[in-house]
C-alpha cells in the first residue's frame, strides 16, 4: 500500500494538447518553421521542452532555450488555459485523499505553471506537494524531480509510486527504485510504456481508479 502517490500532469491529470501544441507552433514559427497540423506536435507533450526542440527539429542547445522562451510567450497567457481535466480524475483524487495518501505532483513543467494550472482547475487542494522544473531549465529531468521529492519529503522508494503517460515518467521512477503505473489514455503508446516494465499498465482513468479500490488496494 503506497503512502505517496506521484502524478505526472500533462497527459495524466489533464489533456493539454491544444495549449502545448499551439505554443510549440508559435515558437517554431519564430524560426520560420510552419506546422499547420497540430497532431504532428504531440511528441512535445510530456518530455522536457528544450530536449524536444533539439530532438525533433535539430535545434542547438542555445536555439532550444530561445525556442522555450518563445513557447512561454504564448503559453503563459493563453496556452496554459487551453487544457482540460480528464474525466474521472477529480473522483480519483478525492478517493485517494480520503484514504489519507500523500498526493504529489511530479512534472517537468515549471512549478510556477503547474501551480497555476492546478489552481485554475481547483485541484491544488488535493496535493500536499507540487514539484516541477525551474524556469531556467534546471531540474527538468523526471529522475531528478523524483529524487528531490523523495529526499525533501523523507520518503522511501518503496512507499511511493509514480503515475505517468510517457516513458520519461517510468524511467525516472526506475532510476529511483520507485514503482510506476503507466496510463494508456495519455500521449505515450502502449508499446512505449510497456517497454519500461511498469508495475501496472492501465488503459483508462477507470482502470486507474480500480487499482486503488479497497479490494485491490496498492
pLDDT tens for residues 84-111? 999 999 999 999 999 999 999 999 999 9
Distance CA 112, CA 116 (A): 6
**What is the set of domains in the chain, with CATH numbers?**
4-15+84-216 (3.40.50.1000), 17-81 (1.10.150.240)
- The answer to whether 187 and 45 are in contact (CB under 8 A) is yes
Q: What is the pLDDT of residues 132-188, one digit of tens each?
A: 999 998 999 999 999 999 999 999 999 999 999 999 999 999 999 999 999 999 999
Report the pLDDT value the prediction gives residue 1, as an integer from 0 to 100.
83
Residues contacting 123, CB < 8 A, separation 6+: 13, 85, 89, 90, 93
Q: Look up 8 and say whether it is catalytic.
A: yes
* C-alpha cell of residue 13: 491529470
Amino acid at each position: 500500500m503506497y503512502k505517496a502517490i506521484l502524478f505526472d500532469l500533462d497527459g495524466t491529470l489533464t489533456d493539454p494538447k491544444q495549449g502545448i501544441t499551439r505554443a510549440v507552433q508559435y515558437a517554431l514559427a519564430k524560426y520560420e518553421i510552419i506546422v499547420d497540423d497540430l497532431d504532428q506536435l504531440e511528441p512535445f507533450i510530456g518530455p522536457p521542452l528544450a530536449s524536444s526542440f533539439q530532438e525533433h527539429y535539430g535545434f542547438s542547445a542555445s536555439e532550444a532555450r530561445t525556442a522555450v522562451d518563445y513557447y512561454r510567450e504564448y503559453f503563459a497567457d493563453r496556452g496554459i488555459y487551453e487544457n482540460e481535466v480528464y474525466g474521472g480524475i477529480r473522483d480519483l483524487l478525492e478517493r485517494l485523499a480520503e484514504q489519507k495518501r500523500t498526493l504529489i505532483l511530479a512534472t517537468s513543467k515549471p512549478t510556477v505553471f503547474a501551480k497555476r494550472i492546478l489552481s485554475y482547475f481547483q485541484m491544488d487542494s488535493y496535493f500536499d506537494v507540487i514539484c516541477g522544473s525551474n524556469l531556467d531549465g534546471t531540474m527538468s529531468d523526471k529522475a531528478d524531480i523524483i529524487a528531490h521529492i523523495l529526499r525533501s519529503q523523507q520518503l522511501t522508494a518503496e512507499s511511493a509510486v509514480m503515475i505517468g503517460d510517457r516513458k520519461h515518467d517510468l524511467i525516472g521512477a526506475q532510476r529511483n527504485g520507485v514503482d510506476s503505473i503507466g496510463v494508456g489514455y495519455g500521449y505515450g503508446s502502449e508499446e512505449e510504456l510497456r517497454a519500461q516494465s511498469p508495475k501496472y499498465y492501465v488503459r483508462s482513468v477507470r482502470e486507474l481508479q480500480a487499482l486503488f479500490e479497497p479490494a485491490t488496494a496498492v
